[in-house]
Structure 1
Amino acid sequence: MNGTRVFESLNAEWDVVCAEPGHAETVLGWLREGGIPLADTATAGGLSEVLAELGRRGRAQGRGHSDRWLRVLLERAGGEGAGALLAARVVVQAMVPAAMRLTRRLQAGRDFDETGQVVLACLFQVVRCFPLGRTSGAAANLLLETLHLASRELKAEGAEYDVVLYPFLDEVLVGEPAVDDPAEAVWAGVLGQRAVQAGLLRDGEGIDGARGELVELLVWAVDAGRMDVGRARLIAEETRAGAQRAGVSAVAWRKRRSRAVRQMRAVAEQWVQAA
């Protein structure tokens, strides 16, 4: 696939890791020692099948199961030697889909593969140094720490080339994400926090669906200097479901909405060019 060479290379490397004799049995042994038993048949398809089985169980049993087996491997990944590198590599591979989504979020104004290289390097570093004192949310915290580290590095690089990134991406969230997808949970958290700070969301208002896309675009426009925060708040208010137009004629209301659409179209074009 064009523009995803860094992840294609990672997957090709994963095939080599899976082909190494004994890797599947080693990882299966670690999991059993950590109280995550898998059937011997899980090793029949090699290490890739072990990871696939863990994924299936995670979807069936929920985030708690994923947290448990991730922590078993994260404990190993923080050590030394070939075993630690193998454990880290398994965790990184498990996080590849989320890392790809995170790369798209952070891509603004730069090559996808270049951004992906930064994200993957940061992810591997986080996996090797993960703070095991945290009791829950292993997957979400891995992505959160990666977001924190990668955004700082990309922001430093972007300053050299006048690339506009989301300035708030290095903020650390507190609390457990509310959805199952760690990448989306992390992003929704920082986006929602920033939108509230900018006055674009009311208390209790979510950022799902089309509304979330509009809020994300407005946040980017404000932080990138493409729109005044007052104007962004006005658009957010006018486009809110059930927005009141008391004292405003139907003609004036339509003109106001048309003006907002024109401005948002221009901002959206700039956003697409940056991304």
Structure 2
Amino acid sequence: MNGTRVFESLNAEWAVVCAEPGHTEMVLGWLREGGVHFGDREVEGGLSEVLAELGRRDRTQDRGHSDRWLRVLLERAVGEGAGALLAARVIVQAMVPGAMRLTRRLQAGRDYDETGRVVVACLFQVVRRFPLGRTSGAAANLLLETLHLASRELKAESAEGGVVQYPYLDAVLSGEPADDDPAQSAWAGVLERRAARAGLLRDGEGVDGARGELVELLVWAVGAGQMDADRARVIADETRVGAQAGAGVSAVAWRKRRSRTVRQMRVVAERWVQAA
């Protein structure tokens, strides 16, 4: 169907995930450990049938059923490694109908596929950092958080001059605290050592909050060959609080420099998401 390529691609990718040996048994094992049991028929049907059966049970049982199996997978999805990514991917696939509804709601004259890509990316972020203490009404909460995050991201794309500004980056570049981080960092110690070796931190600086997310992105960009190390150090210096005051440039020149940095970081951020 024209205008729905993003979801067609998502479904095609899901078929590949389902075909991967071991994925079905891995997910079934997690569900069994969490008290959600299946018979032989669902096992033989593969991962796609497991998800379909969960959907059928959700429609015939109370909301507690979806909360139970979503909690099992969310506990895995917020972790690290291939298992976490698989758990997150299963949840995202289960939420595709809701993501399509959000895309239609947020489209507002925008290209459907471009809007859908933002919604899917935000959904994946929400799944990966979902607070486990909020699993009552998990499906609704996932969609609500995705709606809020995607709405902010899409509004940010209306920035002056056509520059796409991601909220967490724009907040860091302005020297302000950010409310939205792209992911939760579970490896702060490793990141701090890598950032220090790359010359991205000064004495006493940490890798917490929005600034930590920016440093993490710069570390990845240098390591992946997406950015020169010298350029990464310049960005790290320019984005420190008070950097403009000591730069000796006009406000207009500083805004142009910041816009140039955001454009470059947008490309890097998109490649980071694709690599993840």
CA positional deviation for 1:101: 0.4
The aligned residue for residue 29 of structure 1 is: 29
The aligned residue for residue 76 of structure 1 is: 76
The 4+ residue runs of structure 1 with deviation greater than 3 A are 159-162
The aligned residue for residue 20 of structure 2 is: 20
Q: What is the distance in 2 between the residues matched to 1:151 and 1:144?
A: 11
CA positional deviation for 1:158: 2.7
**Unmatched runs of 5 consecutive residues or more in structure 2:** 163-276
1:177-196 superposed matches below 5 A: none
Secondary structure of the structure 1 residue equivalent to 2:133: coil
Over 3 Å counting, the alpha-carbon distance change for 1:62 and 1:160 in structure 2 is farther
> 1:152-202 CA distances to partner (integer Å, 9 max, x unpaired)?
00011134489xxxxxxxxxxxxxxxxxxxxxxxxxxxxxxxxxxxxxxxx
Over 3 Å counting, the alpha-carbon distance change for 1:135 and 1:82 in structure 2 is closer
CA positional deviation for 1:40: 2.6
The sequence identity of aligned pairs, in percent, is: 85
Q: Does structure 1 residue 108 correspond to structure 2 residue 108?
A: yes
AA matched with 1:140: A
Over 3 Å counting, the alpha-carbon distance change for 1:161 and 1:91 in structure 2 is farther
> 1:206-229 CA distances to partner (integer Å, 9 max, x unpaired)?
xxxxxxxxxxxxxxxxxxxxxxxx
The aligned residue for residue 117 of structure 1 is: 117
AA matched with 1:44: E
The aligned residue for residue 173 of structure 1 is: none
Task: Find the structure with the greater CA-based Rg.
Answer: 1
Q: What RMSD, in angstroms, separates the aligned Cα atoms of the two structures?
A: 1.3
> 1:233-264 CA distances to partner (integer Å, 9 max, x unpaired)?
xxxxxxxxxxxxxxxxxxxxxxxxxxxxxxxx
CA positional deviation for 1:21: 1.0
Secondary structure of the structure 2 residue equivalent to 1:158: coil
1:1-275 superposed matches below 5 A: 1-160=1-160
Q: What is the distance in 1 between the residues matched to 2:158 and 2:33?
A: 45
Q: What is the distance in 2 between the residues matched to 1:62 and 1:108?
A: 34
AA matched with 1:121: A
Q: What is the distance in 2 between the residues matched to 1:130 and 1:12?
A: 26
AA matched with 1:137: G
Q: What is the distance in 2 between the residues matched to 1:74 and 1:43?
A: 21
**Unmatched runs of 5 consecutive residues or more in structure 1:** 163-275
The count of aligned residue pairs is: 162
Secondary structure of the structure 1 residue equivalent to 2:109: coil
| TM-score, length-scaled by structure 1 | 0.57
